[in-house]
Structure 1
Amino acid sequence: MQKLTRSNRKPRRGKWLRLFQFMLAFTLAGAVLLGGLLVYLYQAVLPPAGADRNSQLLDLQGQAIAVFTTGERNQQQVKLEDISPWVIQATLAVEDRKFYEHFGFDVKGMLRAVLVNLREMDKVQGASTLSQQLARNLYLSHERTWSRKLKEAKYTAQLEMQYSKDEILNMYLNEIYYGRGAYGIEAAAQLYFGKPAKELNLAESAILAGIPKGPTYYSPYNHMKNAKDRQKIVLNAMKEIGAITAEEAEKAYEELLAFQSPQQRTGGDQAPYFRDYIRNVVVNELGFNEDLLESGGLRIYTTLDMDAQRAAEEAVASELGGSDGLEVALVSIDPRNGYVKALVGGTNYTTSQYNHVFAKTRQPGSSFKPIMYLAALSSKKMTPVSMFNSQPTLFHYDEDRKTYSPKNYGDKYLGEIDMRRAIAASDNIYAVNTLLTVGAEEVAALGAKMGITSTLTPVPSLALGTSPVSPFEMASAFAVISNQGKRIEPVAVLKITDEEGHVLYEAKEQKQEQVIEPAAAYVLTRLLEGVFETGGTGNRVSEVIQRPVAGKTGTTSTDAWLVGYTPELSTAVWVGYDKGKSLGTAESRKAAPIFAKFTEKALEKVPPKIFPMPDGVVSAYIDPSSGKLATAGCPDKQLVVFLEGTEPTEFCTEHSGESVETEELAPLPVQEEPESGSWWSDLKRWWMN
């Protein structure tokens, strides 16, 4: 037999060497490709995440209170530390127990799911990790194709490479769908339990953690049994991983949960009418694209004061809670800077999203009269002691071609009265006489300067508020009176930034326009304070408001108003029916207590302030029956303020007798108003006496 020589063995060694070299080269090439792929995935930019980039509305304190989304979508971002630990443990236990151990893909879980599905000949078990679910929800549709699966794997790897585990978990809990339009755990906590996510207990957390598997099937509002069965599965999963004991699981399952009723569920957002108003401002006035507002991650910084907003909502609920069809509008503006501080556009947003604050279809009635009286005072055609006879009157106008015959409420007529009493009693005859003295065109022009954008028809009935206006216009106009005649355009949006904090819009400093002289505004304010005093139409709520306040009621057959102001807030309240149904006596009296309760609650932390008296104002003791300067013999003296130069110069002679010498009729001195004082009621009582 021929022996094996060295030369015979050499080719076989060369073959193995070449195979080794090929494998080495293949491995190196694979490593290079894998390294290149990892570098690519690490550096590649993830696509825009539409679902988690909802724009937020922030209040005056910078707190997020609502989001801008289409339809019923509701989502509010919270940090991981602001989520209950029970939620986190429940979610990980039932969805992804190996979350902190895998690199985005649970290989063992995937193999186990494949074997189970093959055995059952159906897809009965999945193995998607939280990272995979997040990638699918953020960037992909839910179609079942190989291309989508490959994209899902790619985006999952990118998420794992570019974010920490805590960041991925935080994004997941802010994104996952919990049913009823609630995306994310914060919206879900508010929707189902009316509380923030950080306050959820074990039982509540287990219920919510079970919903995403089937938001409709496991909804406690749709199928309570299914929801409780799923809750038990979640609790058992938590028990298996050692997060809770068997006793804790049983106790949580037996706990009676307090879900919100349908009437309480408002989608999680606060101030929904204000949010809708801001949407209109941002898109239609500031020119932002609506898609950008929906999913551009904008931050809308607004003027909303949540303390005032809650006061407004509580005042409305206290008077109209349970009212069948009766609607409301309340808007309050800071006259000093134009900030819209509170806005309630209706009784219940879930049943009607129509914002009555901007409805230009309502007659203001007598609440419009202060604008007319301001025109009379500022033109100096009339003063607070100008007299008219309150009696049934047929007025002629339009060069005597037309007539107008108004009536007083209840056919009550007061005879000779001055402006102070006419305002307090809301006398219509005096009002029409005033309009014809000043001129309807002049009144309409002043209304426009003060912020009334609706058309004011210059006819005698304008004196009684027959031209429809919106509550927003009325609050804006009365803010001028409160702000010593200076108009500041109302503002609601202060700043808009993108999600990285870059400023896209910032409101300019509001310009002040002196519409009327401060003295005229102050004189009218003192007259409007009488509305809340004895004999005034707002007297029945005077006990509620423990601070200086001025305003005017207004009532038509279908509308009830109170528009008033303090130095800090100008507020309009309207109550009525959408379909023009007539108001009953009790319903027509709802606006005043809403105004009073709101004003006092909104300003409870603000010390009472009197309205500051400007230059150009004087006061004098007047005999109310004659409208002349009072003398020592006049039995009923009243202190009245005037624009300087319009105060009476004649002395009353009605109470002195024919034999009284002229020197005995010396008038009381003209005095200026005090600039400060203590508690309002005591101050006024002392001053008047």
Structure 2
Amino acid sequence: MLTLLASASVLAAGPSLAAPELPVLPPIRREAQITYVDRTGAVIGVRGGRFAPPVDLAKLPAHVPAAFVAIEDRRFWEHTGFDPRGIARAIVVAAGEGRATQGASTITQQLARHLYLSQDRTLERKATELLYAVQLERTYSKRQILGMYLSRVYFGSGAYGLEAAAQRYFNKPAAKLTIAEAAMLAGVLKSPVNYHPIEQADASWSRARLVMDIMVETGAITPAQRTQAAAKKPTVWKTAPNAPAQYFIDWLDGETRRLVGNPKQDLVIETTLDGQLERAAASAARRVVGASVPAAAQAAVVSVDGAGRVRAMVGGLDYAKAPYNRAAVAKRQAGSAWKPFVYLTALEAGWTPDMPVVDEPVTIGTWSPQNYDEGFQGPITLERAVASSVNTVAARTADLVGRPAIAQTARRLGIASSVNTDPAMALGTSLVTPLEMTQAYAVFANGGHRVQAYGIERIRTPAGKLLYQRRPPTWTPVTANPALSNLNRMLRAVITTGTGQRAAFPGYDLAGKTGTTSDYKDAWFCGYTGGFATCAWMGRDDNAPMGRITGGGAPAELWKAVMTTAVKRLPMQPIPAGRAPPPPEPQILQASAPEAAESIEEPDAETEVPATN
């Protein structure tokens, strides 16, 4: 204790006394961060190192750093790294209690601790902290010290640094924080547990008002500004606004590492995601599942435009509780959402929507498929069979056109998982991911061109140096008219008069297909408009039944909720009649690295026969 007090006294006395020899500052270590942004440039997530680069104070409103200085170290701009009065007070208390219980640390001392030391409350650590603080003040400017400090402190909820905290609690960059928001974040630092903006909302707001009082005392704001700022408590996001996008980032992370390896510098990944659509899709999934589906059910949503850009990817209802990505990884039976592959194969063989077929008992080998609704309709058209999702007609069609040919069609359209060719494959017994299904349906949406779903547009440094840019898409036709136009006609009927009527909304050209598997274990709705496709899936992770949840129910409602948001945010058009590609986006540079390549797991061996609709 005496050593610490003596060192502080000598340092405070200035040049009249010989200053103690200061230690050489260890190197400041910080792992590189990879920042992912959506198509508008908004941050959707960060991977890699915990700490961001030092905060640039010049880019912040003056009240933001002032809030932290006011509550943490009001003499920050005057002292040389430590506060002798505070240290003396802490030592007296420690002597009385036999241990160090008070910090009295300046911002510079706190930074020294964050950069170089442990959090142990010992006098030896405190003495070293003090010496490092003085050396920091001699090495860096006050603004640099404050910038490093604001990039390292912890705000709770996994948010390290000011920028991460602003995004987590207020869904905005630190440069846009209000006085009240800045005061609330500054107040958290004393105890991220006791002053947590969500879990201890009243205590957090009370301390924020205290911060604003001190800001008035220090001249950082006026009394009028304080009164105005304290009049309304800031709105705090209870759930991290970017939480749904973490499924998408997890999907991209492996591809990012393949392209850039283990980065030695900070990088920015410009993605295809539409952040607002992503949040809307996640919110709709929670709402629809909560209102319509039994407990323990999950949902997944994928939206892909006609060029393959993933615009939304919801891998589950709560990333924090269950980060398993059901959109890109989970393989489930597609049920009748698979039938478009069956009927496209038939249409390419010369069948037509008006061709007469018969809904009657069918036996193929030892298998006799049943319809979702009991009974048989007798003679109907092929279009009616699709709209009503008649299983007997789909099974007979597959048997006639050949199941190996259907498997080839599915692969041509983008299904990469193994496709079985037993009789029940016509009803969707193959295991596929929602991502695969969406990129396949995107072929129907873009005029018949192969789609490879992707999420990375560019990789650059924060300063703007381009390291990777995806090549423009190559338009490869994989199906043609009249088969494609006829399929679109039949899938439109699913929504207008068939099993998918709950997906309908006016003003847009819509088509799609429902899917429900045996014992209601999986429910799907996959559909599209011009240049845009979305698939919604629901099911349980343990593959247990969900009750009587069908694809034409909750999944169709979820699909409708997502698509009604999408059509307002992204360019839409009628479903193309032929092979013409959608209008290209502005020309981009030649890629400097190989194109992203999707990796999809092999399916599980076990399958079952669904009763689909």
TM-score bin, normalised by smaller chain: 0.7 to 0.9
Change in Cα spacing, 1:244 to 1:307, as seen in structure 2 (3 Å) is closer
1:634-654 Cα offsets, whole Å, 9 max, x none, are: xxxxxxxxxxxxxxxxxxxxx
SS at match of 2:430: coil
1:136-182 Cα offsets, whole Å, 9 max, x none, are: 424554466979976985687467655x5445433432321112312
Q: CA deviation at 1:489?
A: 1.7
Letter of the aligned partner of 2:498 in structure 1?
Answer: G
Letter of the aligned partner of 1:282 in structure 2?
Answer: T
Letter of the aligned partner of 1:549 in structure 2?
Answer: L
Any gaps of 5 or more consecutive residues in structure 2?
Answer: 1-14, 581-613
Please, which of 407, 411, 415 is the counterpart of residue 444 of structure 1? Answer: 407
Q: CA deviation at 1:349?
A: 2.0
Letter of the aligned partner of 2:404 in structure 1?
Answer: E
Partners of 1:77 and 1:551 in 2: CA distance: 50
The alignment status of 1:513 with 2:485, answered yes or no, reads no
1:221-277 Cα offsets, whole Å, 9 max, x none, are: 6667875775576455334324457798799889767655xxx32376562221222
Please, which of 483, 493, 504 is the counterpart of residue 530 of structure 1? Answer: 493
Give 1 or 2 for the bigger CA radius of gyration: 1
Partners of 1:286 and 1:343 in 2: CA distance: 21
Q: CA deviation at 1:340?
A: 0.8
Partners of 2:554 and 2:231 in 1: CA distance: 45
TM-score, length of structure 1 as denominator length: 0.71
In the other structure, the counterpart of 2:42 is: 63
Change in Cα spacing, 1:257 to 1:300, as seen in structure 2 (3 Å) is closer
In the other structure, the counterpart of 2:30 is: 49
Change in Cα spacing, 1:55 to 1:527, as seen in structure 2 (3 Å) is same
Partners of 1:87 and 1:115 in 2: CA distance: 30
Partners of 2:387 and 2:138 in 1: CA distance: 71
Change in Cα spacing, 1:79 to 1:462, as seen in structure 2 (3 Å) is farther
Partners of 1:338 and 1:160 in 2: CA distance: 54
The alignment status of 1:92 with 2:69, answered yes or no, reads yes
Change in Cα spacing, 1:568 to 1:152, as seen in structure 2 (3 Å) is farther
In the other structure, the counterpart of 1:116 is: 89
In the other structure, the counterpart of 2:361 is: 392
SS at match of 2:247: helix
Q: CA deviation at 1:509?
A: 3.3
Q: CA deviation at 1:346?
A: 1.1
In the other structure, the counterpart of 2:278 is: 309
Counting only pairs closer than 5 Å after superposition, residues 132-147 of structure 1 correspond to structure 2 as 132-138=109-115, 140-142=117-119
- Whether the aligned pair in 2 keeps the contact of 1:546 and 1:600 (CA below 8 Å) is no
Partners of 2:400 and 2:550 in 1: CA distance: 34
- Whether the aligned pair in 2 keeps the contact of 1:67 and 1:269 (CA below 8 Å) is no
In the other structure, the counterpart of 1:643 is: none
Please, which of 603, 625, 641 is the counterpart of residue 567 of structure 2? Answer: 603
- Structure 1 range deviating more: 138-147 or 460-469: 138-147
Q: CA deviation at 1:46?
A: 5.1
Partners of 1:92 and 1:445 in 2: CA distance: 66
- Percentage of matched positions with identical amino acids: 34
Q: CA deviation at 1:539?
A: 2.2
TM-score, length of structure 2 as denominator length: 0.79
- Whether the aligned pair in 1 keeps the contact of 2:90 and 2:102 (CA below 8 Å) is yes
Change in Cα spacing, 1:256 to 1:385, as seen in structure 2 (3 Å) is closer
SS at match of 1:561: strand
The alignment status of 1:496 with 2:465, answered yes or no, reads no
1:469-525 Cα offsets, whole Å, 9 max, x none, are: 111110111112223322132111122234454444333333333322354323322
SS at match of 2:514: strand
- Whether the aligned pair in 2 keeps the contact of 1:117 and 1:123 (CA below 8 Å) is yes
The alignment status of 1:540 with 2:510, answered yes or no, reads no
Partners of 2:368 and 2:465 in 1: CA distance: 61
In the other structure, the counterpart of 2:577 is: 613
SS at match of 2:523: strand
Q: How many residues align?
A: 553
In the other structure, the counterpart of 1:130 is: 107
- Whether the aligned pair in 2 keeps the contact of 1:278 and 1:493 (CA below 8 Å) is yes
Change in Cα spacing, 1:241 to 1:123, as seen in structure 2 (3 Å) is farther
Q: CA deviation at 1:467?
A: 1.2
Letter of the aligned partner of 1:389 in structure 2?
Answer: V
Partners of 1:114 and 1:567 in 2: CA distance: 69
SS at match of 2:75: coil
SS at match of 2:324: coil
In the other structure, the counterpart of 1:676 is: none
In the other structure, the counterpart of 1:594 is: 558
In the other structure, the counterpart of 1:553 is: 514
The alignment's C-alpha RMSD in Å is: 3.8
Counting only pairs closer than 5 Å after superposition, residues 567-646 of structure 1 correspond to structure 2 as 567-585=530-548, 588=551, 589-605=553-569, 609-614=573-578
- Whether the aligned pair in 2 keeps the contact of 1:135 and 1:159 (CA below 8 Å) is no
1:556-598 Cα offsets, whole Å, 9 max, x none, are: 2211111111222111111122222323346651111211221
- Whether the aligned pair in 1 keeps the contact of 2:445 and 2:576 (CA below 8 Å) is no
- Whether the aligned pair in 1 keeps the contact of 2:420 and 2:430 (CA below 8 Å) is yes
- Whether the aligned pair in 1 keeps the contact of 2:34 and 2:46 (CA below 8 Å) is yes
- Whether the aligned pair in 2 keeps the contact of 1:428 and 1:464 (CA below 8 Å) is yes
- Structure 1 range deviating more: 211-220 or 461-470: 211-220
1:193-237 Cα offsets, whole Å, 9 max, x none, are: 566545655555444323223333444666678757755764553
In the other structure, the counterpart of 1:172 is: 149
Change in Cα spacing, 1:577 to 1:443, as seen in structure 2 (3 Å) is same
- Whether the aligned pair in 2 keeps the contact of 1:187 and 1:268 (CA below 8 Å) is no
SS at match of 2:303: strand
Any gaps of 5 or more consecutive residues in structure 1?
Answer: 1-26, 396-401, 617-689
In the other structure, the counterpart of 1:282 is: 256
Counting only pairs closer than 5 Å after superposition, residues 142-541 of structure 1 correspond to structure 2 as 142=119, 157=135, 161=139, 165-192=142-169, 197=174, 202-219=179-196, 231=208, 234-235=211-212, 237-243=214-220, 260=237, 264-266=238-240, 269=243, 271-283=245-257, 285-286=258-259, 288-289=261-262, 292=263, 296-321=265-290, 324-335=295-306, 337-380=307-350, 382-395=351-364, 402-533=365-496, 535-541=497-503
Relative contact order (C-alpha < 8 Å, sep 6+): which is higher? Answer: 2
- Whether the aligned pair in 2 keeps the contact of 1:116 and 1:124 (CA below 8 Å) is no
Letter of the aligned partner of 2:317 in structure 1?
Answer: T
- Structure 1 range deviating more: 190-199 or 322-331: 190-199
SS at match of 2:447: coil
Partners of 2:467 and 2:571 in 1: CA distance: 37
Partners of 2:170 and 2:530 in 1: CA distance: 39
Change in Cα spacing, 1:327 to 1:517, as seen in structure 2 (3 Å) is same
Change in Cα spacing, 1:129 to 1:529, as seen in structure 2 (3 Å) is same
